[in-house]
Amino acid sequence: MAQRLLLLLLLAAALAAAPASAFPGPAGPDLQTQREAFLKARVQAEAGRWEGVEPWLGVLEDYPLVPDLRAAWLDANLGPETDQEVSRFLASHDDLAFARGLRYRWALSLARREAWDTYLELYESSYPDGGDAVLRCHALTARISTGREAGLRDEALEMWLSPVSQPDACDPAFTWLEEQGALTSQRRTQRMELALDAGEFRLARWLARPLGTAAVAEVDRWTGMRAEPAARLADPDAYPDTDAERALVVYGFRRLASEDPERAADLWPAYDRQLSFSAADRDRTLRRIALIHAWRHLPGARQALEALPPEAHDDDTRAWTVRTLLREEDWAAALEALQALPPTQQQEPAWRYWRARMLDVTGAADQARPLFEALAGERGYHSFLSADRIGAEYAWGYAPTPAREDVIAALADRPDIRRTRELFYTGEESRGRVEWTRAMRRLSPEEQAQASILASRWGWYSQAISTASSSGLRNDLELRFPLPWRPVFEDRSRRAGIPSTWAYGIARSESLFMPDVVSRAGAVGLMQLMPATGRQTARSAGIPYRGRVTLTDPEANVTLGTTYLSSMLARFANNRVLATAAYNAGPHRVEQWLPETGPLDADVWVETVPFSETRGYVRRVLASEAVFNWRMSGETLRLTEVMQPVPPRP
């Protein structure tokens, strides 16, 4: 809460210090004053002090975000005194971004207070799909408490029979099931087996205790298999041919394949001869062993993939068969394996490129050239590589979108669009994105195209990019590859000794230029830095580090991001491909992915990166850098100029 207040106060101070020209679009002095007033009032509203909000309401008359102040105040004052107002407020503002969070926290407040009639009314009207386990369990408790027990037993059992632990909110309903005699030994055994299969051993042990020592011993065997699969699987004769034993063995091989795939490959044939596995279990086990061999580039990868029976293959194993052969530079075999990919997959740009590469290397240049030419007529990573192969110009295909000022003016005056603009300017960009997406659904394709121009004029680059792409403006490179904070990117990149076009490619791929975005892994800001990386890099960059405040500040984030990117470039001997991959996946993983023997062509190395996310990321960054270079200089930066061969592991 303290950090949130600090951020709001800093933003208010920045707005107060900025001239009117700092606000693009229709923002004049009056609107600037309203923004400053709103930020100060929001601090009071979030603290639950409406008396601190009231002095600002006169200035804020007709300001689009006034409802947000009341929502913040209600959120801070949930209780019996505000229940009716919350209900009316949500009914009037259901389509606004704050409604979802306020409604959820109100539901939890009602459950804590055991206001079960109101809770059920809210739950049944707002959460009919029952997707949230906490709310669903509170609804079960509410029905028990209000005597609405029709069908309750079956619904509660459905929640209880879960392979994972359920929230504490489910405890009253599960206690009720116990009192009803519904949690029989058979059902406990069933859930224990589900938990074991899911690897939820703490839950399995808790379920086993009432079942006796045999059940606890069974959980202990699974726990031991997880901890030391190689030792537990050393003797195939130790496992009789029963359903339970086969399930344990299959789990063990899943663990062993991750820990030591070569040992798993050695042990599996003896088990396969001794136990009557189902075809599904056999195929799944063999597929996992083969894929992990391929992902780790182990010597037996090719043999493991080629030994798979036809029915065990899927799209992943077929693709990794091709990649493994590429890594071995067996071009003829790779071309043959590519023919086994599904036809739709073969038409993807990646496989079209590799077909041409394979034909070219195997002496069929006359067949390869038309394929390269067709790809070179498009725009993207594989198209740029194809153009390099035949010495063709890059097909930029730039087509700017004509601005229709009448449409843009009408859009800017729409209440829903005005709200998104103010959410963006007052630091609620994530909520603004939610409402912008909803607003776009109400517009025609032509209006969406003009809306992307409007967002760009505001400096809301993430929405300009996403809206331009979704509305078919894929060739408007000005909208889709903007140059925000250009002086900052150019200055910090120069200090770090790296091209600003590369830094732009990283930032666009990481965040679409959203300064506030936080990834699922916890990376923050324009160039998506983990807090620990930011703290460490701040020392070498010579700037103070204040946690998320620093990471969400564009200038500080770009300083840290370019500094860290430069360190990756130095670590990998100026190899741009490896440094890009390291920025995404971490340097230790990239070092593990280096070839064992001689150097490898950079395009082959990228194609055989084990993580699909990193593979796509490197392609996207390199292609984006080429576009940014063309936009900033008018010159073509060829991918082959920055894709030097990948050296072997030291």
What are the pLDDT digits (tens) for 518-568? Answer: 999 999 999 999 999 999 999 999 999 999 999 999 999 999 999 999 999
531/4: higher pLDDT: 531
**Contact yes or no for 469/461 (Cβ under 8 A):** no
Residue 10 has pLDDT above 50, yes or no: no
Question: Which helix (H) or strand (E) is 31 found in, with range?
Answer: helix 29-46
* Residue 77: other Cβ atoms inside 10 A: 16
Residue 31, both tokens: 């609107």
Query: What pLDDT, in 10s, does the model give residues 112-170?
Result: 999 999 999 999 999 988 789 999 999 999 999 999 999 999 999 999 999 999 999 99
CA dihedral 606, 612, 613, 617 (to 10 degrees): 30
Instruction: Name residues whose C-beta falls within 8 Å of residue 267's C-beta, 6 or more positions apart in sequence.
Output: 233, 236, 253, 256
Residue 230 has pLDDT above 50, yes or no: yes
Q: Rounded mean pLDDT of 428-435?
A: 95
Residue 468 has pLDDT above 80, yes or no: yes
CA dihedral 458, 462, 464, 467 (to 10 degrees): -140
Cα-based distances in Å from 621 to 225, 379, 625: 42, 14, 6
Active site amino acids: 510
pLDDT of residue 131: 82
pLDDT of residue 565: 98
Type of residue at 72? A
Residue 61 has pLDDT above 80, yes or no: yes
Residue 182 has pLDDT above 80, yes or no: yes
Q: Is 618 exposed, middle or buried (0-12, 13-18, 19+ CB in 10 A)?
A: buried
At 238, the pLDDT band (50, 70, 90 cuts) reads very high
At 195, the pLDDT band (50, 70, 90 cuts) reads very high
CA distance 434 to 89: 19
pLDDT of residue 49: 98
Q: Rounded mean pLDDT of 624-630?
A: 98
Query: What pLDDT, in 10s, does the model give residues 66-102?
Result: 999 999 999 999 999 999 999 999 999 999 999 999 9
First to last CA, the chain: 48
Residue 275, both tokens: 């136990």
pLDDT of residue 129: 86
Q: Rounded mean pLDDT of 401-419?
A: 97
pLDDT of residue 130: 78
Residue 450 has pLDDT above 50, yes or no: yes
At 500, the pLDDT band (50, 70, 90 cuts) reads very high
pLDDT of residue 25: 41
Percentage of the chain lying above the pLDDT 70 cut: 96
Distance of CA 579 to the CA centre of its chain: 21
Q: Rounded mean pLDDT of 350-379?
A: 98
Question: Which helix (H) or strand (E) is 488 found in, with range?
Answer: helix 486-496
At 569, the pLDDT band (50, 70, 90 cuts) reads very high
Question: Which helix (H) or strand (E) is 478 found in, with range?
Answer: helix 477-480
pLDDT of residue 271: 97
Give φ, ψ of 541 to 5 degrees: -80, -15
Query: What pLDDT, in 10s, does the model give residues 319-350?
Result: 999 999 999 999 999 999 999 999 999 999 99
Residue 17 has pLDDT above 60, yes or no: no
Residue 313 has pLDDT above 80, yes or no: yes
Nearest to 534 by CA among 520, 518, 548, 554: 548
Q: Rounded mean pLDDT of 266-287?
A: 97
Query: Any idea how long the chain is?
Result: 650
Instruction: Name residues whose C-beta falls within 8 Å of residue 164's C-beta, 6 or more positions apart in sequence.
Output: 195, 198, 200, 203
Residue 96, both tokens: 């606004």
pLDDT of residue 391: 97
Residue 649 has pLDDT above 60, yes or no: yes
Nearest to 50 by CA among 42, 58, 61: 42
- What is the pLDDT of the chain when averaged over all its residues? 94
**Residue labelled with tokens 């801070």:** 76
Q: Is 478 exposed, middle or buried (0-12, 13-18, 19+ CB in 10 A)?
A: middle
